[in-house]
């Protein structure tokens, strides 16, 4: 849930993502949480979600 809020917050600040990109980021987040053994809630999950969003930002 936190990941979706982070991703939605980024979209609200002008970083609009295509639906397929959101789906990819969601899968990456879920897989990374599983690999790391962390829940989808909490600070570690939020940091992970923010890092994933940053990686998907277009190069400027």
pLDDT tens readout for residues 36-46: 999 999 999 99
Q: Which residue has the tokens 């002008």?
A: 14
pLDDT at position 12 over 70? no
Going by pLDDT thresholds of 50, 70 and 90, the confidence category of residue 6 is low
Q: Where are the domains of the chain?
A: 2-8+18-55
Q: What is the DSSP string of 9-23?
A: HHHHTT----HHHHH
How many residues would you count in the chain? 60
Tokens matching residue 16: 């609009």
Provide the H-helix boundaries in 13-55.
Answer: 19-36, 43-55
pLDDT at position 60 over 80? no
pLDDT in tens, 21-59: 889 999 999 999 999 999 999 999 999 999 998 888 876
């Amino acid at each position: 849930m936190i990941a979706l809020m982070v991703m939605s917050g980024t979209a609200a600040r002008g970083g609009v993502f295509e639906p397929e990109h959101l789906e990819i980021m969601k899968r990456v987040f879920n897989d990374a949480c599983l690999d790391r053994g962390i829940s989808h809630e909490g600070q570690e999950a939020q940091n992970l979600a923010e890092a994933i969003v940053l990686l998907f930002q277009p190069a400027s």
